């Protein structure tokens, strides 16, 4: 009932190009693409950071159960694991 035909889409596209121009539309497309790329990268980094924290916590727990370790050695282990993770990225 309210469908848009292909001819109507072409007319709308022509009007948008006439109003904004090809350079501005190309720039807008590039900005949108880089924003999406940055968002995906941030989401991936967030997942990796959570994984690193999980691994660091496991190492700390293992160390503390092995030798009834001190808080200092556990903190050093966490810092080392985080720095190794950052170097790998």
CA 72 vs CA 9, 60, 64, 68, 76: distances in Å:
65, 10, 11, 12, 6
Mean pLDDT of 46-65: 61
b/e 13-33 (16+ beta carbons within 10 angstroms → b): eeeeeeeeeeeeeeeeeeeee
Percent of the chain surpassing pLDDT 70: 58
pLDDT digits (tens, 9 = 90+) for 2-19: 788 999 999 999 999 999
Q: Cα dihedral sign for 21, 24, 27, 29?
A: negative
Give Cα 54 distance to the centre of its chain. 18
């Amino acid at each position: 009932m309210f469908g848009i035909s292909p001819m109507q889409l072409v007319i709308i596209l022509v009007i948008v190009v006439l109003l904004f121009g090809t350079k501005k539309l190309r720039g807008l497309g590039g900005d949108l693409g880089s924003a999406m790329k940055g968002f995906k990268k941030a989401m991936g980094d967030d997942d990796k950071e959570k994984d690193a924290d999980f691994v660091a916590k496991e190492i700390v727990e293992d160390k503390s159960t092995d030798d009834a370790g001190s808080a200092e050695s556990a903190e050093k282990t966490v810092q080392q694991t985080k720095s190794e993770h950052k170097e790998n990225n």
